[in-house]
Chains A and B, each alone.
Chain A
């Protein structure tokens, strides 16, 4: 068995190589790239929110190419049907007899890009619910298991309200992280122009070998779960979740009760823990620290804290409240 040190070292090397390779295409957004990779190796899905033209789709495509995994893209539109995602039974003519054959949809891939996911109807959006959580789909009463690793990366546009269908809370909770992609600054924009308007475009190299990609990814995911988490730190995560829940007796921020309609659930705590473990490995540690938890709390909780009407009216964001919670909850052992 490979010693832990070697496993940690290999994890860090691959992670850094992937991050570096994606960063060759995506200018800026290093934090977003790292968080996407963190969610990938933690076994979660990512919802990216940002205005059009910021390279969200390019980032996901680059990642899939670097990982050497199968990649499918689904452009969500209002007339998109669930069968367009999961697949459907088609009548086939083979071997002298007619039979229904399951035609797999684009969900059957290692990395799925659900572009502008909020444009589809809730019926279609819910088609990927089972796939995201259970890593399987059921069509005409028959269940099909998705390939592993399975990673959904959805994007949504925050500025378009007309003709969009906000994701239901149940679906939001299934995303590991919600990342906000901000517009590039002038320096980054200059770099983008230099890379995209000159000569040949950079071709992403495949970091993971094709024959071992699945195994390596699964090993890395296993390693993440073996990272040690001290009981005082898990208690701290629990206090964070309790503090973000309105009406909780451990609430230390009054604004939680004032502006939150619902707080994060156990999936939020799981996301914080696994994200912190990835951070620990990246820092060449086999134990989680308070800093690891703090780093992933915001992307893990911001979409799980549902704001009420008063918060919308007063332009209060979940990030603001979660930041206050991080400051108020004591890091005691």
Chain B
């Protein structure tokens, strides 16, 4: 015959073990999911490890608290109540547990212990307190399993995992050959100046990557630099998705200056919103020369090349300030800089050899490439001649092109928007570059309408109804 005290102790331990098992069942899958998600985030964004893995630490802390509470949550009275319920003991165990500590010893206690022991025979701990997972633990396990599967096969991984694995990749000679072949394809006859420039840069990059003395990290750095210059996502350059360039090249050749490249073709959306800084660094010169900081023509070229990359947008821009400087839509420039950005630039503001009216419009032919900090391009001279030839052969020289005009005409086909910058001279305050559209301007509280306002008490300060737009011009006269 089991002693009631022993039974209560045994059941207490069993309940604690069962509760702990459920705590493990709830928290371990969550911790696994959190760890996996944190690792992915850590590899993808290089965030501080403490921040990324904080959910894991949080779940671990909660699990420790839950384990501690599982130990202390169940008291002897609770266990006694459970046994009473299971054995229909009519609170014998509860009385046995609580009365001795509350009252002086009674002769009835012995009798009660005997009765409780008789009842304890009918109690089976395996049936009363089975080791089984609660519903919340099962849900946590199933949910976590689904989350792990989703994390492993979610579309975020193809973008994250390759970036994480690129650093581990060795550059294969086959890839270099593909890249070189692709660069030469870009530089052949009939391609645009931008393609030729890109091809030249890719060719230079290929030559550099062939150097066996360079380490993987150095090669990686070179690729990153090239990517920054060309403003292309890294995976598209090397060693992946070379096919995309080929497709783009075919499209450009087939459609002239039309640019119908959609984001699905591998063009990242960010590409259409190129940063002027990056544009300033990109060698958009048709002659293949290195971009010259502060060059007026360089700014024009950038603006001309922009619509091609943005997939249909056309921007009529005034001549921009020096390309090496940061230009923001809302930045404030000095009057001297504003003068430089006017449409009729003064000759003093032009770098030698950067006059757009000069035949060929070539810039920086005598410049040392190393001064500009760019990668040396071994086939530069040859490409210059080819570029000149192709420009002349297209019918209208570049020097005769108007701002925003390409050799194939104005890029108006499939244009989705037109961005017009007001010349500085028309700005009443003479701040052409800072005159931008204010989309956050305050809206009138009273709607424009001809309807009379509602009646209000005489003392009430009534809102003055603004003049409808269509009558403003008349009334102002």
Known A-B contacts A228-B103, A231-B99; A285 and B92 likewise in contact (beta carbons under 8 Å): yes
A289 touching B108 by the CB < 8 A rule? no
Instruction: Give the residues in chain A near B91, CB-CB below 8 Å.
Output: 230, 233, 287-290
Instruction: Give the residues in chain B near A230, CB-CB below 8 Å.
Output: 91, 94-95, 98-99, 102
The residues in A between 1 and 55 inclusive whose CB is less than 8 angstroms from any CB of B are 3-5, 8
Known A-B contacts A4-B107, A291-B90; A286 and B99 likewise in contact (beta carbons under 8 Å): no
A287 touching B112 by the CB < 8 A rule? yes
Instruction: Give the residues in chain A near B110, CB-CB below 8 Å.
Output: 4
Closest to A293 in B: B91
Contact with A along B104-124 (1 / 0, CB 8 A): 001111111001000000000
Chain A nearest Cβ from B73, distance in angstroms: 14
For the complex, give the distance between the alpha carbons of A229 and B112 in Å.
Answer: 12
Chain A nearest Cβ from B25, distance in angstroms: 27
Q: Does A227 contact B (CB under 8 A)?
A: yes
Closest to B90 in A: A289
Closest to B107 in A: A4
For the complex, give the distance between the alpha carbons of A4 and B96 in Å.
Answer: 16
Chain B nearest Cβ from A249, distance in angstroms: 24
Contact with B along A320-333 (1 / 0, CB 8 A): 00000000000001
B102 touching A231 by the CB < 8 A rule? yes
A5 touching B111 by the CB < 8 A rule? yes
Q: Does B55 contact A (CB under 8 A)?
A: no
For the complex, give the distance between the alpha carbons of A227 and B112 in Å.
Answer: 10
- Count of A residues near B, CB < 8 Å? 23
Closest to B115 in A: A285
B111 touching A232 by the CB < 8 A rule? no
Closest to A223 in B: B108
Instruction: Give the residues in chain A near B282, CB-CB below 8 Å.
Output: none
For the complex, give the distance between the alpha carbons of A280 and B108 in Å.
Answer: 13
Instruction: Give the residues in chain A near B81, CB-CB below 8 Å.
Output: 333
A333 touching B90 by the CB < 8 A rule? no
Contact with B along A221-255 (1 / 0, CB 8 A): 00000111111110000000000000000000000
For the complex, give the distance between the alpha carbons of A229 and B109 in Å.
Answer: 11
Closest to A4 in B: B111
Known A-B contacts A232-B77, A333-B78, A333-B81; A286 and B102 likewise in contact (beta carbons under 8 Å): no
Which residue of A3, A4, A232, A280 has the most chain B CB atoms within 10 A of its CB atom? A232
Instruction: Give the residues in chain B near A133, CB-CB below 8 Å.
Output: none
Instruction: Give the residues in chain A near B108, CB-CB below 8 Å.
Output: 4, 226-228, 286-287
Instruction: Give the residues in chain B near A232, CB-CB below 8 Å.
Output: 77, 94, 98
Q: Does A130 contact B (CB under 8 A)?
A: no
Q: Does A99 contact B (CB under 8 A)?
A: no
Chain B nearest Cβ from A238, distance in angstroms: 14
8 Å CB contact of A285 from B90, B94, B98, B107? B90
For the complex, give the distance between the alpha carbons of A231 and B77 in Å.
Answer: 11
Chain B nearest Cβ from A305, distance in angstroms: 26
Instruction: Give the residues in chain A near B92, CB-CB below 8 Å.
Output: 285, 287
For the complex, give the distance between the alpha carbons of A232 and B101 in Å.
Answer: 12
Closest to B98 in A: A230
Instruction: Give the residues in chain B near A291, CB-CB below 8 Å.
Output: 90
Instruction: Give the residues in chain A near B90, CB-CB below 8 Å.
Output: 280, 283, 285, 287, 289, 291-292
8 Å CB contact of B109 from A228, A233, A283? A228
The residues in A between 280 and 315 inclusive whose CB is less than 8 angstroms from any CB of B are 280, 283, 285-292
Closest to B89 in A: A289
For the complex, give the distance between the alpha carbons of A291 and B107 in Å.
Answer: 23
B112 touching A286 by the CB < 8 A rule? yes
Which residue of B77, B108, B115 has the most chain A CB atoms within 10 A of its CB atom? B108
Chain B nearest Cβ from A59, distance in angstroms: 29
Instruction: Give the residues in chain B near A227, CB-CB below 8 Å.
Output: 108
For the complex, give the distance between the alpha carbons of A227 and B106 in Å.
Answer: 9
Closest to B77 in A: A333
For the complex, give the distance between the alpha carbons of A232 and B94 in Å.
Answer: 8
Closest to A8 in B: B111
The residues in B between 171 and 211 inclusive whose CB is less than 8 angstroms from any CB of A are none
A231 touching B98 by the CB < 8 A rule? yes
A333 touching B115 by the CB < 8 A rule? no
Chain A nearest Cβ from B117, distance in angstroms: 14
A228 touching B94 by the CB < 8 A rule? no
Chain B nearest Cβ from A8, distance in angstroms: 8
Chain A nearest Cβ from B108, distance in angstroms: 4
Chain B nearest Cβ from A155, distance in angstroms: 34
Instruction: Give the residues in chain A near B102, CB-CB below 8 Å.
Output: 230-231
Closest to B114 in A: A5
For the complex, give the distance between the alpha carbons of A233 and B98 in Å.
Answer: 10
Instruction: Give the residues in chain A near B78, CB-CB below 8 Å.
Output: 333
A228 touching B106 by the CB < 8 A rule? yes
Chain A nearest Cβ from B363, distance in angstroms: 88
8 Å CB contact of B99 from A5, A228, A289, A290? A228
Instruction: Give the residues in chain B near A226, CB-CB below 8 Å.
Output: 106-108
Chain A nearest Cβ from B109, distance in angstroms: 7
Chain B nearest Cβ from A4, distance in angstroms: 5
Instruction: Give the residues in chain A near B109, CB-CB below 8 Å.
Output: 228
Chain A nearest Cβ from B87, distance in angstroms: 12
Instruction: Give the residues in chain B near A233, CB-CB below 8 Å.
Output: 91, 94-95
Closest to A292 in B: B90
Instruction: Give the residues in chain B near A229, CB-CB below 8 Å.
Output: 95, 99
Instruction: Give the residues in chain A near B80, CB-CB below 8 Å.
Output: 333
A287 touching B107 by the CB < 8 A rule? no
Which residue of A8, A226, A230 has the most chain B CB atoms within 10 A of its CB atom? A230
Contact with A along B155-179 (1 / 0, CB 8 A): 0000000000000000000000000
Instruction: Give the residues in chain B near A333, CB-CB below 8 Å.
Output: 77-78, 80-81, 94, 98
Q: Beyond A3-B111, A230-B98: 12 further Cβ-contacts under 8 Å?
A: A4-B107, A228-B99, A231-B99, A232-B77, A233-B91, A233-B94, A283-B90, A285-B92, A286-B111, A287-B92, A289-B91, A333-B80
18 residue pairs A–B, Cβ–Cβ below 8 Å: A3-B107, A4-B108, A228-B99, A228-B108, A230-B94, A231-B98, A231-B99, A231-B102, A233-B94, A280-B90, A286-B112, A287-B95, A287-B99, A288-B91, A288-B95, A291-B90, A333-B80, A333-B81
Q: Which residues of A contact B (CB under 8 A)?
A: 3-5, 8, 226-233, 280, 283, 285-292, 333
Instruction: Give me the 10 closest cross-chain CB pairs, A-B, nearest first.
Output: A289-B90, A287-B95, A286-B108, A230-B95, A289-B91, A230-B98, A333-B77, A4-B111, A231-B102, A228-B99
